[in-house]
Every structure is written in C-alpha cells, then in structure tokens.
Structure 1
Amino acid sequence: MNITDVERDALYKVIYSRRDVRKDFISKAIPDEVLARILKAGHHAPSVGFMQPWDFILVTEEETKNALKKGYELASVESAQKFSEEKREEYQSFKLEGILEAPLGICVTCDRERNGPVVIGRTIKPEMDLYSTVCAIQNIWLAARAENIGLGWVSIIHDDVLRETLDIPDNIEIIAYLCLGYVSNFKDKPELETFGWLPRENISQLIHKEKWSKKA
C-alpha cells in the first residue's frame, strides 16, 4: 500500500506541529470513538518480539486527579532545588502539567513479563520492551495531534504516587502519565524554545557518517 503525497505531507504536518501541552485545555470531552482511535494507534506501535507490553489506565475522576496533582506539586518543589538559583526562579515560573485541567489522563505502563522471560529482540538488550512502550506513547501523541487534541507528558511525579493512586502492581513498570484534551490553540513552537530555556539543536551537528568522529 503506497502513501500518496498528500498523505505524506499530512504526516509531516502532524509531526512538526506536535506540542507538549500543559495549559489551554478546554472542558470539551473527548468522544469515545476518538479516544478509541488514539488508543488503537498506540496499540499498533512497533514492539520488540511483538510482545506489546503496554497497558493504558484512563483517569477521569477529580479525586484521582487531585491526588496526582499533590504528588506533582511535591515533586516539583523537590525538582526546583536541583537547578541553580537563577534557573530555579525561571523553572518555577513555568506551568509544566495540566493534571486538573485536562479532561483525560492516561497512565502508560509496561509489563516486562508479558510473553515470558525470553522474547525475540530482548535477549541482548532487555530494555527494548521499555523503548517499545515509548513508541506506543509517540503514536498516541501523534494520533492525538491529528485529532486536534493536545497532549502533555507529566514526568515530574514519583512512581510511588502513581502506583498507589492508580493501584498499579509492583511488577509493572510505570512509563508515563499523559494529559489529554482539546485546547484553545496550539503554539507555533515548543514553549521552552519560545521562552529561551534551550535552543533547538542544529541537526547538521547531530548527524555522523560511518564513525562518531566524522560529522556528515
């Protein structure tokens, strides 16, 4: 099945306009059929040995979100101390999550025991199941953007908060907590790039030819 030029261009548009959304969520609910498409896109991500190690926990209740928000706030205070005094003030000015504002949260997990102890592709690099789960997250992110739905990855929260609040078994790895919802607008650039926190790297400096020491 060939991809047409129009379909190709649409994919690149989605990739380049994807954003990590932390605010501007609106209260409009995500229709069940739209959410089903997004989750199915995640489930069709590549996975090592076709083990499909992911699970998706959907979060909509305010009580659950409030517990997670408290966990984020504690972790954010802890994180702020790791920056220099100058950077700390700027860090604290950023809004880095939308746990309460987003209509939907999705916790993405990885079952490292799925399909047994020996899986094709994990015999040398056992962490490949974790990377496969991240591929599922990327698919969800791009599918959400194609549906004009914003998504933000909340990484400033301890796993034990997610584990206790969402009743996740000890043998299941927690990979991400995602906030999803329709937004009032999508930014032209990533916010941290706009704020000058860091510049976008020059891709020409990131490409090597044959050896690390040789830039392309």
Structure 2
Amino acid sequence: MGEHAFSANERRAVYRAIAERRDMRRFVPGAAVPDDVLARLLRAAHAAPSVGLMQPWRFIRITNDALRRQIHDLVSDERQQTALALGPRSDEFLRLKVDGVLECAELFVVALGDGRERHIFGRRTLPQMDLASVSCAIQNLWLAARAEGLGMGWVSIFDPDRLGALLGMPSDAEPVAILCLGPVPDFPDRPALEIEQWALARPLAEFVSENGWVTAPVPAVGLPSCPP
C-alpha cells in the first residue's frame, strides 16, 4: 500500500459508492435537494479530469416546470423512435421506465461547450476526448450523489439538435445527457435492466487481455478475483 493511500475505511467508502451506484429512474415525488448538497455535487463534477484541462462541460439546471415538460416530450418522442428501431423488442422496450424527468427533484442538461475545436492538446488524433472528459464529470457527480444518499439517472434518449435548440445552445455546443437527480425510494442491488431482464452485465474477465487484442479475452495473468 502506498504512503498516499486513504485509510481502510475511506477506501471502503470509495469502493462502496462505485459498487452501489445505479442508473435511477424512480424518485421520491415532491422531494428536494438542499442547496449545500447540490453545490457539493457540482463541485465534484467540476473537479473531474479533462484532457488538456479544457473543462468542456456545461451544466444547465432546469428550474422551469414548462421547460421540464418540454424536455420530457422530447424524451417521449425519441422513446417511440427507439422502439421502432428495436423491431421485435419494441413492446418489451416500451414497458421499461426509461426516465424520471417529471419526478426527480433536480433536472440538469449536460452539454459539450462551444469553442472546443481550439483545444488541440490531447485531441489532435482523438477529438472525442472532449466527450470522455464530460463523461468523467458526470461520473464524479453520480458517485458523489450516491455518497450523499441521492439517486441519479443518465437519460440519453433524445434528439440532441432539438434539445440544443430548445435551450438556445450555440451551434458548436452539443447536449450529451439529461440528468435526473434526487431522493429515491431505494437503491436496487442490481442494475435495473438486469432486474427487468433486458440485459445481463458481463463479467470483468471478458474485457481484460494481455499484450494485444484477442477475440475472446481470457483473464490477464495475476488478475485477482473480485468480491461481489
């Protein structure tokens, strides 16, 4: 263990937040997030790593009820289009609850900011690193929310052009997430899509290989088994 390691209790708390984070769709109606908690969560998001320290994220807090309903309408429209694209699984998909836009205590739209093309450091060959940086900010917010006892859901079912126009975004900005945040009834012990039998998470061993790409990865030598 390195000299800069957290204490055992602190490490357990970090790993617990990671293990118990869930993509939430059900929220406690009428609940609220205290201002000081919301400020801590946004500071956690803003502390995320970003390539070239470009900080490409923008967080738009939605406090207007009519605007919230318009965002929900965009999600509902795309939900129908997604169902059509899924073909034989369309009815199964439509039975899933895919968002908590109308019920959550706080609603945010997260976007890639404008003027990103001027940032070259770390993006010359991998321009998508701006999106990777925003994803890190969202994950920071997600884990901090879990530590505060709050649930968060990442909604990606929307038309980005329509959402950008609705929020008056400049043409070179791009919405990437609708985040539903707030108190929840409980935290399931498994991902919701497993509970709903939509999909099953695959084990770590299928994603780790050594010294090159293999079609069917096998565990790297020395890879420890992970406790449940």
Structure 2 unaligned residues grouped into runs of 5+: 221-228
- Taking the aligned partners of 1:62 and 1:178, their CA distance within structure 2 comes to 15
Map 1:94-113; keep pairs closer than 5 Å: 94-111=96-113, 113=115
Instruction: Name the SS of the counterpart of 1:212 in structure 2.
Output: coil
Partner of 2:93: 91
Q: CA deviation at 1:123?
A: 2.1
- Taking the aligned partners of 1:119 and 1:54, their CA distance within structure 2 comes to 16
2:14 paired residue among 11, 14, 20: 11
Partner of 1:32: 35
> Deviation string for 1:27-48 (max 9, x for gaps)?
2211111000000000000000
1:69 paired residue among 62, 69, 72: 72
- Taking the aligned partners of 1:77 and 1:67, their CA distance within structure 2 comes to 16
Q: CA deviation at 1:144?
A: 0.8
Partner of 2:201: 200
Q: CA deviation at 1:187?
A: 1.0
2:52 paired residue among 46, 49, 52: 49
Instruction: Report the number of matched residues.
Output: 214
2:148 pairs with 1:152: no
Q: CA deviation at 1:112?
A: 5.2
Q: CA deviation at 1:180?
A: 0.6
- Taking the aligned partners of 2:7 and 2:37, their CA distance within structure 1 comes to 24
Instruction: Name the SS of the counterpart of 1:81 in structure 2.
Output: helix
State the TM-score, normalizing by the size of structure 2. Answer: 0.89
- Taking the aligned partners of 1:100 and 1:5, their CA distance within structure 2 comes to 40
How many percent of aligned residue pairs carry the same amino acid? 39
Instruction: Name the SS of the counterpart of 1:70 in structure 2.
Output: helix
Q: CA deviation at 1:118?
A: 4.1
2:68 pairs with 1:82: no
User: What is the root-mean-square deviation in Å for CA atoms of aligned residues?
Assistant: 1.5
- Taking the aligned partners of 1:112 and 1:168, their CA distance within structure 2 comes to 9
> Deviation string for 1:104-135 (max 9, x for gaps)?
11111112525x72432112212111110111
